[in-house]
Structure 1
Amino acid sequence: MRALQFALSTLVALTACTGEPPSFDAITGGSPRHGLEAIQRYGCGACHRIDGVPGAYGTVGPTLQRIGERAYIAGKLSNSPENLQQWIRFPQRIAPENAMPDLDVSEIDARDIAAYLYHQ
């Protein structure tokens, strides 16, 4: 939670300096545009509802709408860009036997997916 609070306070400070709100892609180091492509490539929408992703109406996993407002990821990790990226890459390592499979998501793709999800 501290990491997310730090990230949000950094966003507020940067907004005050530039007059423009920075986005979570600045925090994740990823690209929301590439994240959309990765979400489609890995088939995330087969299990999750994800706004802005064509065909992402899955109901197996939770909706990924407004994930940046949540306190926890998967009910286990405090919500931070780093934790979201780890969850995307290694869900079975973090919560063995949960329904989300390890999809061999690369570090770069995880950053991009996190940027997309936080960008919504």
Structure 2
Amino acid sequence: MLMSRKKRKEETSQEYVLKMREIGSRAEIEPEVVIQYIIDGIIDDTSNKIVLYGAKNFQEFKEKVKLYDTIKSKSAITQKYSAPSTSFSKKRHRSKDCPSKYKGTKCFRCNEFGHVSSSCKKN
């Protein structure tokens, strides 16, 4: 159960940690092992999760999770205000969520839709 459980978007880090501790307490698993499962279940870049490593007990880990949440919230604010400004509001998004997806692929050379840069006819 610990291996398959992942942090859900709608739950806080603290809620996720408590749920994972509960699952871990059902078996006699060492805290370091449960902590590793918790970290593995957080869907985020490893460079963001680096602050979570090194805790030997849940008290230390609890402090690291607070720090992680603080860093993530400040990072979100920074990204919000560092987005490139244009005359119209452009929001960063993943390609699968692109509002212009119906136009086809986008060329990064000329910024037009319908082809890719390797087949672009513009210089």
Calculate the TM-score normalised by the size of structure 2: 0.29
Higher RCO, 1 vs 2 (CA within 8 Å, ≥6 residues apart): 1
Calculate the TM-score normalised by the size of structure 1: 0.30
